[in-house]
């Protein structure tokens, strides 16, 4: 039998290596590099109304905690297991001075001080002073509850933001917890970095949000932009220029800022000008995140109306077939896996924003290791609000640079 020489197939999936991910950039548990970095900042963990006399379980950076508001109006966040014998304070009774465990009635204030031990009439204040329910400091601003989970002696100030402080006539600040921008449900089952990196990826917009889904935003957004990336002090700024059919140019600036900020102008471009809202990507654990948003609105509910729709349907109203046929941010990012397989990536020129944000994160890990504050930490009470260049701007045909320089 004469045999024909056969060229073996190339590039098949046989023998490929087990995928790996960049743990130092993605994992958020206590004691991990990124977990400790994120613990140096304040994070929004609920809406103001979430702190009430009904204890509420919250997940943050791999920790489960109990949020409540005592009868004097103070919001508190405590470790769920009662310091006595570990019954959960989820079943606690909220009183004027704090939260009382259901099992033996120990009462704790918002800072974990033990105020009462009703089954211990012999034990006085001194004994109670040795008991402390683990707690975290809380602040409230912009309709959100903020939590600091880091080392006590590193606690920074909770920053003010220009976009939320300088409010125009008829506008007010509203907060939202529906994970606007996530393209799916409130809790999104993949690592937070997959979403955070998406913020510095304007190229996917004309593909995922126009070619695949139909025009999800506005026709202008379907144009493939010219893009410039820039690392600024505490983030990566993306400037996208789109030449529009009428000869004007859409100049769109968005920022991914430390620690987890989405500073993204409305992709539906209701009006031109500076960014309307700020979002915070909250890692619940290594494999889940959600997004809190605060923004300037003219009517209550303006924020939640920004949630993505497809043929008028919200994500949870789509059939499995529609999810497959019209994928959005949720499908693209969640399908990267619980944590993306970085070892299998092929980054190209359009991914340089992603390269930059990873470098920025690594520099902050270095800062921590070297005992310095990471970028974006505010310690000066006199510092003015943080300003971003982000916004949608329209350049007229003859206008070369219509915007004031921002930095």
Q: 197 to 256, contacts with its own copies by CB under 8 A?
A: 203-204, 207-208, 211-212, 224
Assess contact for 107 and 97: CB atoms under 8 A.
yes
On whether the CB atoms of residues 68 and 51 are closer than 8 A, the answer is yes
DSSP E strands: which ranges in 101-158?
Answer: 107-108, 114-116, 135-136, 138-141, 144-148
With respect to its own copies, which residue has the nearer C-beta, 43 or 296?
A: 43
Could you say which of 13, 96, 400, 405 contacts its own copies (CB under 8 A)?
13
The span of 10-18, 250-258, 271-279, 360-368 binding its own copies (CB under 8 A) equals 10-18
The answer to whether 40 and 377 are in contact (CB under 8 A) is yes
Which of 49, 52, 71, 123 is close enough to bind its own copies by CB under 8 A?
123
Out of 5, 15, 73, 312, the residue judged to bind its own copies by CB under 8 A: 15
Instruction: Write down the least CB distance from residue 143 to its own copies, Å.
Output: 24
CA-nearest of 175, 133, 147 to 284 is 147
Segment 37-66, which members bind its own copies (CB under 8 A)? 39, 54-55, 63, 65
- State the minimum distance, in angstroms, from the CB of residue 265 to its own copies: 21
CB count, 10 Å around CB of 245?
Answer: 8
Report 316-355 residues binding its own copies (CB under 8 A).
324-325, 327, 331-333, 335-337, 340-341, 344-351
- Please report the DSSP string for 275-338 in residue order: --EEEEEEEEETTEEEEEEEEEESSTTTTGGGS--BTTB-GGGS-HHHHHHS--HHHHHHTTTT
Task: Give the total of residues touching its own copies (CB under 8 A).
Answer: 86
Cα separation of 260 and 182, whole Å? 13
Q: Minimum distance between the CB of residue 64 and its own copies, rounded to whole angstroms?
A: 11
| 361 sits near its own copies (criterion: CB under 8 A) | no
Q: Interface with its own copies includes 122 (CB under 8 A)?
A: yes
Residue 59: both structure tokens together:
């997940």
Q: Across-strand partners of 241?
A: 226, 251
Tell me whether residue 158 or residue 394 sits nearer to its own copies (CB atom). Answer: 158
* Rounded CA separation 263/114 (Å): 41
When the beta carbons of 93 and 307 are compared against its own copies, the nearer one is 93
Contacting its own copies within 250-309 (CB under 8 A): none
Considering only 43, 69, 84, 287, the residue that binds its own copies (CB under 8 A) is: 84
Q: Per CB under 8 A, does 1 bind its own copies?
A: yes
């Amino acid at each position: 039998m004469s045999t024909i020489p056969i060229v073996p197939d190339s590039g098949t999936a046989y023998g490929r290596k087990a995928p790996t991910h960049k743990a130092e950039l993605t994992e958020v548990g206590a004691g991990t590099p990124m977990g400790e970095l994120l613990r140096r900042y304040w994070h929004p963990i609920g809406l103001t109304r979430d702190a009430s006399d009904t204890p509420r379980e919250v997940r943050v950076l791999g920790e489960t905690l109990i949020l409540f508001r005592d009868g004097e109006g103070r919001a508190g966040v405590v470790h769920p297991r009662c310091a006595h014998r570990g019954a959960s304070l989820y079943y606690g009774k909220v009183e004027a001075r704090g939260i009382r465990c259901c099992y033996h009635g120990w009462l704790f204030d918002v800072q974990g001080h033990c105020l009462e031990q009703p089954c211990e009439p012999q034990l006085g204040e001194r004994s109670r002073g040795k008991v402390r329910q683990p707690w975290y400091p809380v602040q409230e601003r912009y309709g959100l509850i903020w939590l600091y989970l880091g080392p006590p002696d590193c606690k920074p100030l909770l920053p003010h933001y220009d976009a939320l402080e300088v409010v125009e006539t008829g506008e007010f600040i509203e907060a939202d917890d529906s994970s606007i921008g996530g393209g799916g449900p409130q809790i999104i089952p993949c690592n937070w970095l997959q979403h955070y990196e998406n913020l510095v990826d304007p190229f996917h917009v004309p593909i995922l949000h126009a070619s695949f889904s139909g025009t999800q935003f506005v026709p202008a957004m379907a144009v493939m932009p010219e893009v410039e990336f820039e690392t600024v002090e505490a983030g990566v700024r993306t400037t996208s220029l789109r030449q529009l059919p009428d000869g004007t140019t859409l100049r769109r600036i968005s920022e991914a800022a430390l620690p987890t900020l989405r500073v993204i102008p409305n992709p539906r471009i209701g009006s031109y000008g500076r960014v309307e809202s700020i979002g915070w990507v909250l890692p619940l654990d290594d494999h889940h995140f959600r997004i809190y948003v605060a923004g300037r609105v003219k009517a209550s509910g303006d924020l939640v109306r920004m949630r993505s729709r497809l043929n008028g349907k919200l994500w949870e109203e789509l059939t499995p077939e529609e999810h497959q046929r019209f994928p959005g941010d949720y499908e693209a990012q969640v399908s990267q896996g619980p944590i993306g397989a970085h070892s299998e990536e092929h980054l190209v020129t359009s991914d340089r924003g992603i390269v930059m944000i990873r470098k920025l994160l690594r520099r902050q890990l270095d800062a921590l290791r070297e005992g310095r504050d990471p970028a974006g930490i505010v310690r000066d009470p006199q510092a003015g609000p943080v300003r971003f260049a982000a916004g949608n701007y329209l350049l007229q045909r003859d206008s070369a640079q219509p915007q004031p320089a921002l930095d």
